[in-house]
Each structure stands twice: as C-alpha cells, then as structure tokens.
Structure 1
C-alpha cells in the first residue's frame, strides 16, 4: 500500500505498555502471557482529513502493477526474544499511523508506515536525488550493509511509483533485532512519496506479494529467526476522539486493548492479503448486503465497497452520492444505527460516531466509499480502530474483539 490519505499505512502512537499476552489457543479465552514486541502509537491532531484523496490512494494501491518520535535506539540482540515499545505519531485524525524502525549499524531511525495490505520493506536512500524531505539510508554508513543489487519497482494506478535496488541490513523494530533483512532502497520516487510524511513502508501482508520473488518479509524473519514465540501480531488503532494512540504487538497481543471475547475468522491468503469472507452487512438489524470478499488493511483509511454495496449502505443512512465514489451524509449521527459486519457467524461493529470521516462546511463526508475498479471490499482503519485484531500468519486467520475505543 502507499502512504496517503486513505491508503495511508497505519500511523502508530505512544501508549504505556503493560504485560502483553501471546496468541490464544482457545477463542473463548484471552491469550496467555508470552514474550512479545509492542509498537505503540500516538496521536497528532494537526491534520485535516480529505476523503477524496483517501479514496483515490486506496484504489491506486490495489490497482498497482507489479512532531518527531522518540528514537528507537535500545536495540535488542539478534536471536533473542524481546519486548519493546516504539513511540509513534498518528498523522491526521485516524488517517495514517506510522512508527520508528531503525536500520543499519549504527542504527538510523526512519518513520515507517505499517501496512497489512502489502509485503515490502522499502525506504528512501541517498541514491534518490528527488527525496529531499526524507531521512535517507546511506549504505556507506552501515557496517552491516550487504549489497544485493537486484532491481525492484512499484507502480500504482494513479501514476505514482518507486524503484531501486535490493540490499540486506539489520532492522530493529522495538527491541527486536532482525539480522540480514532484505530491504528495498529507493533510487527514484514520485513526488507523492518523495514529499510525503514518512520515509518508507513496512508491509505485513504475506510474502507471496513481495515485488521480488523469494524475499522474506520482516515478520516472516521474526518467526524464522526465533525472535517471537508466536507467529502472530496484534493491532490496536486508537481514535483521535479518544486521544488517539494505538500499538502493534509482535509475537502476541495486548488484552488491555480489547473487551469481551476474541472470535476467530479464517483468512484466505491466496492473493497475499488478509482476506476474509463477509457473510452479511447490516445497518442495525437490517441486512443491506451479503456474501462478499473483504480485506483487512491497516494501510487504508476508509471502508471501501463495490458500488452496489456502497449504494445500499448509503441508502440505509440517507447518504447521497457525489458522483466520485464518495458520499455526503448527515453530520448529526445521533439517530444512526451501527454498521455491522458478520464474519464466521459473529458480528463486528462500526459505531455511528465512526461513520463520519470529514466535515466540509454544513455537510459531512461518509467514512465509506466505493470504486468501480475493485471487485472486493476493504476494511480499513474505520473498521480496525473499532476492533482489535490478532493476525496469525502461520495458520492464516484473525481473531477479532471490540476495541476498548469502540463505544
């Protein structure tokens, strides 16, 4: 995914980290305590949402052709299981969450978007002459740099792109050190990347969709190098309306960030994404759509449906289409019913306060949209900031429970 307004890879935030627990064996119980890594998130209120830009960027991502945080300097030793917290910034009102990842020896800190909708780790480098506002990776300054030289490139449907060469180096996420991680060094970036708020992107999708075949993702290397006890990571995204915040917990989950029971939903990873079967969508108790495919994507801001499903949802809320995939909706949500997604026999909620994405004068834009270019639906941060999700890479599945911020 690319970092933008809808397709803005998650922005991470600083929260106090207590004990975190590993992936539960039984969906009726919370996980048992295990060593984990947590990446925390913090809110930044100095940004105005843009629903049209968010929609355009999300569509571009899935039509692709091929305030400074505290330094993360306390790196753990490679080969050990460790626990770490990374202070991060939430850029905008629940639009994009990013955190610090350290790369090289000595480590250099980069602002990185965490994205379950892609699988590459790429960063701006000193080889990129147009990358004037980003922190740049310099291979000559790292003792652990290993040359690879194979080319990589990413092209998106909106014309944005990035390309460069592969390398290997030490990567630190929280206090977990990944040795010999393949990284993609940008030699060229289009302006939307080169002048963006972040320095790169870390994909948390499956390895089958990396731009170069055979590359292991950072999370795959955490597992294969024995750096985490469980092949899972938990995601909590906070709401700006509740002081923002959030965290990524690698190797387990944090039960203090969700309420009630975790419910397991099988994942279809055949396309490299965290795909789920959505059996029903309701507005309150009234069904408006059924039987369609969805993707859980931390790198997309909105809920994005096919046109038919979006129109059904809009009709139930009295929303009016703007002719560009977005909808105008009443700013007063006091009489709205929640939007309910049924997956594997369980209901998961998006409450009424999350149905408004942007206010523009006397009217509001809805937090859902559509694109005729997509044949699936994307459950972005609008869903994920209301539901805590544990992603299991080894046995493709997710566990979902209401976030502490849901209501």
Structure 2
C-alpha cells in the first residue's frame, strides 16, 4: 500500500531499540490468525473490481507517476473495500502497554494506530488511548496515508512499541484520528508496514528494520506461512492463519531448499521487496510475459496484478477464457470446471498456484473470475522506471513458504511441507484435485495449522483478501 503524504514531519530524533536490548538466539515463531470479513458475502465478486482499482491507486498507477513519497496533497482516495480474508498480529504500544491487532503488509512501510476520537472508526474498532500512555510523545504535523482499500490520516507520534519479545523505544508511527470506511474491519486497529524505509511517509525506520539494526535477531530476515480459507462457507470468524517467524525460518513448514533471489532494493533506504518474473507457464506451456517483469511481493494484497501483455498472454492460453468489461475491465473469466495450472518463476523453480486461489468466484453460468488481472487497465499513467509492474499477492503466497531477507536483500520461496498442507513438488498443482465447477474450495493447509496453532493466540494480519490487492485487507487493494 503506498500511502500519500500530506505533510511529512522532519524528525530530529530516530527510532532506536530499548536501552538494554536482549539478543534472541532462536527465531521467534508467531502464530497468525485469519479474520473473516462479514461483508464478503454481500459484496460478492464486485469487491474484486473495487480491489483492482484500489491496488492501482496503492502503487500510483493512474494516480501518480512516482512510487516513492508522493507530493503533498489534500486528496484522500476512499475505496469500498470487500475483503476475502485478513491476517493480523498483536502489537503492544505505550506505557503501560495497550494491545492492538495490526495488519502486516510487506507492500508498505508506515506504522499506524487508530486512536480515541477517531472519525470513521466503527464501534467495534479497538483504539489506542494516548492519554493512558505516560511515554507517548505526540507531534503537531499531520500525515495522510492512502491505501488501496481506504485512507487514514493523523499526527506523527513516538512511543514504545513491541511485538513478542522485541521492543523499539521510541518507535515513530501515525496516531490516526480519521479513517475511511472499510480500511480496517472488526477488531483490527491499524497496519504495520514491512517494506523498506525508503517508502515510509513518516521517514521513520520501520519496526522490523529497527530490531535488525540493533542486532536483536539471529538472522536479518522474517518469513511467512499463510493458510487458505477461500470460499469456505464453514470458516469461523477467526481461523488459524499461519505463522510469521522473525529472525529466521520454521523448518517444519517447508521442505527442500529455500530458493533465494537477490535484488537491488533501490536508493534512499530501499523501497519494496522486489523480484523479477523470469517465466510463466499455463498448463505446462510457457507463455510470453513481455519486458515488464519487475514484481513487488506484497502480503497486503490478495490478487496478482500484471501488465496488459502478460495478462492477455496468460489467459489467451486458457481455453474458454474471456476478457471482461465494465467494472471488471482488466479481468478474465474462464470455465469453472477447468483444471487450470499456472506457475510463476523468479529465476529459479516454477512455483504453481492452486486452482483454489486462481478461481475467485462465479461470474456467470459456468464462468469463473480469474485472480490474475491487468493492473494497468483503464489507467492513463503507467508505472515509471523502478516501479513494480507486477504486484504478487496472497493468491501466490498461500502456495509457498516465503522468506524476506534484508542483508543481502533477497526474497526466498520454498515448497510447503506436509505439515503445512502440501504433498507435491514445485511442479505440482497443489490443491487442484479439490476444484469443482462451483468455484474454489479450501486447501489442505488449514486443518494442519488448526492443530498446530492455539486458537487463542492473536496473530498477524497480512491483509489477505483482495483489497490489498492493495493493502489493508486484501481485496485487491
């Protein structure tokens, strides 16, 4: 989610870790919970059209020519978000600590909390009460953040922030007092950006970078395993969502080697977690994806956004696929009973995407909506040099174990283990036998995680459902 900045506070101080840090020699494994969006059923597949529009806004396509900090503006895009699922983690802030659930988003870098008196917050939104923290330092300048699924604005502040055993004191964040409807749902409070400092609108060091800079982690990396509950009508409001591991990996959740692909994060402290698409296959046959291949790996996005040429080539190789129009311009439908196999390579193995993730709902009789869409459709402003042309969200990430390493910068993927619900190799279409003409079904990973993770533990929200094809909830946004 690439927020828009109204005013940037130039801070003379910088985030640092607590005075007496304690190095953790073993990686920390944090269970993730998945929260269902109650509006999902009412919104139907229309939510994906809104999500696509929001995702374009998030990455500045059709709105701004720069993926970096945007020019000052008073305009705040409001998006009607309809999410499939979201993933969240519990974060503590203030003295004494107040516990709040935040979305974890590798597609943005700012940290924010909704605060008391928040305009636009629902009656269910837990809020940070600044008056109850003796250590909070509240500034005077405002920042506006624009996400694919909505917007937030507030005052830049500093306070003690911790997740698990790791504490940053002080950590810079935005004390949000104004939210657009739908940016966070249920009992979620805010967003923790997990991308690099270079795209932080507050110009602050992100929490994850601060704990790495202070040498609190054994390894300068974090990793994700996330579960699948797509179109599972029996899913509870909260389900086990997977595991976030800080400082390393969880070897029980993947098998074989982790395929690391290095990248140059960019100037100014880095930008997104980037990869280069080296190949795409459809039902085992290679399709051309053109020269626009730079991809952002975004846990805060649900779908996969790609350039026009690549999208047309992918769906052109699927028998019966049809381009859609109107609100769904840029999307394709395909026969629901298709045993579709699409795999993406980033310079190493080709990683298959389950049909359960590619098929995101029924469009018409016998035709289902595809999860790979044209991110530039209908936009007059195209990505500039250095801007990701692909946005690879949870449609892909649910099918792999993913590792984000800051030094040297790299993203790694590995095959899911049997414990995590996979029984095939990277060349296997995981989950495809479960597909039915009625649409996608739940993959096998959920039951495994259900037995692995205590239901009472609050976890991390990656915002996985379409909006975040943009950030916040994973809706395409």
Show the 5 A alignment for 1:127-146: 127-133=117-123, 134-146=125-137
Distance 1:161 1:199 in 2: 13
Distance 1:248 1:177 in 2: 17
Kept after mapping to 2: 8 A contact 1:268/1:274: no
- The residue number in structure 2 matching 1:293 is 294
Q: Larger relative contact order (C-alpha < 8 A, sep ≥ 6)?
A: 2
SS at match of 1:219: helix
Q: Deviations over 1:93-150 (max 9, x none)?
A: 5x32122212112222222110000000011112533324322212110122123334
After TM superposition, give the deviation of residue 58 of structure 1 in Å: 1.7
- The residue number in structure 1 matching 2:345 is 342
Q: 2:374 aligns with which of 364, 370, 373?
A: 370
Stretch deviating more after TM superposition (137-146 or 202-211): 137-146
Kept after mapping to 2: 8 A contact 1:96/1:301: no
Gapped regions of structure 2 (runs ≥ 5):
4-23, 65-69, 71-81, 233-238, 384-388, 423-429, 431-477
Matched, 1:108 2:98: yes
- The residue number in structure 1 matching 2:153 is 163
Q: Deviations over 1:30-54 (max 9, x none)?
A: xxx9412222123445644632233
After TM superposition, give the deviation of residue 301 of structure 1 in Å: 0.3
Kept after mapping to 1: 8 A contact 2:137/2:158: yes
Relative to structure 1, the CA distance from residue 203 to residue 156 in structure 2 (aligned partners, 3 Å threshold; closer, same or farther) is closer
Task: Output the TM-score relative to the length of structure 1.
Answer: 0.78
- The residue number in structure 1 matching 2:282 is 283
Gapped regions of structure 1 (runs ≥ 5):
4-32, 67-90
- The residue number in structure 2 matching 1:245 is 241
After TM superposition, give the deviation of residue 333 of structure 1 in Å: 3.2
After TM superposition, give the deviation of residue 389 of structure 1 in Å: 0.9
- The residue number in structure 1 matching 2:324 is 322
SS at match of 1:193: coil
Kept after mapping to 2: 8 A contact 1:130/1:194: no
Distance 2:98 2:139 in 1: 20
Q: Deviations over 1:238-267 (max 9, x none)?
A: 112697621111111111111222111112
Kept after mapping to 1: 8 A contact 2:126/2:187: no
Stretch deviating more after TM superposition (378-387 or 106-115): 106-115
SS at match of 1:162: strand
Kept after mapping to 1: 8 A contact 2:195/2:272: yes
Q: Deviations over 1:308-365 (max 9, x none)?
A: 211111111232111212221222233x2x2121222332221333211123563321
Distance 1:119 1:272 in 2: 9
- The residue number in structure 2 matching 1:333 is 338
- The residue number in structure 1 matching 2:254 is 258
- The residue number in structure 2 matching 1:216 is 205
Distance 2:115 2:252 in 1: 38
Q: Deviations over 1:56-104 (max 9, x none)?
A: 22222112763xxxxxxxxxxxxxxxxxxxxxxxx965x3212221211
SS at match of 1:260: strand
Kept after mapping to 1: 8 A contact 2:51/2:148: no
Kept after mapping to 2: 8 A contact 1:51/1:365: no
- The residue number in structure 1 matching 2:177 is 187
Show the 5 A alignment for 1:6-405: 34-44=25-35, 47-48=40-41, 50-63=47-60, 66=70, 93=84, 95-133=85-123, 134-155=125-146, 160-193=150-183, 198-213=188-203, 215-240=204-229, 245-270=241-266, 272-290=271-289, 291=291, 292-318=293-319, 319-323=321-325, 324-334=329-339, 336=340, 338-360=341-363, 362=365, 363-372=367-376, 373=379, 375=383, 376-403=389-416, 404-405=420-421
Q: Deviations over 1:124-179 (max 9, x none)?
A: 11253332432221211012212333432223578x43221111111121232222
Kept after mapping to 2: 8 A contact 1:34/1:252: no
Kept after mapping to 1: 8 A contact 2:334/2:368: yes
Relative to structure 1, the CA distance from residue 405 to residue 315 in structure 2 (aligned partners, 3 Å threshold; closer, same or farther) is farther
Distance 2:58 2:188 in 1: 16
SS at match of 2:138: strand
